[in-house]
Amino acid sequence: MTILDAILTCPRCGAAFKEKMPTDACRYFYSCRACGAVLKPKPGDCCVFCSYADVPCPPVQDSRSDCC
């Protein structure tokens, strides 16, 4: 079963927000609602969810690939 909701935590300010993950695309940028930092994936990750969320993105969860 694929998890579609994730808690994304800003590495700059530590704020955490529940976000719905897209199933058909990567989310490469995310703007923190608390501090305004624009997050990008860490090297080797396909999206901000794989880098900063409590669960990886749906394609990675489903083992369809190592990235979106």
* pLDDT at residue number 63: 72
Q: How many CB atoms lie within 10 A of CB 21?
A: 25
Share of the chain above pLDDT 90, in %: 74
**3-state secondary structure (DSSP) of residue 56:** coil
Q: Does this model's pTM top 0.95?
A: no
Residue 9 lies in a domain: yes
Q: Amino acid letter at 32?
A: C
Tokens representing residue 46 in the block: 């396909």
CA 12 to chain CA centroid, nearest Å: 15
Whether the pLDDT of residue 68 is over 60: the answer is no
pLDDT, position 33: 97
Is residue 15 in some structural domain? yes
Q: Is 53 a domain residue? A: yes
pLDDT surpassing 90 at residue 62: no
Please classify residue 31 by burial: count the beta carbons closer than 10 Å to its beta carbon, then call 0-12 exposed, 13-18 middle and 19+ buried.
exposed
In a domain, 66, yes or no: no
Matching residue, tokens 């305004």: 36
Q: What's the number of domains the chain is made of?
A: 1
pLDDT in tens, 11-37: 999 999 999 999 888 899 999 999 999
Domain assignment present for residue 67? The answer is no
Domain that holds residue 11: 5-61
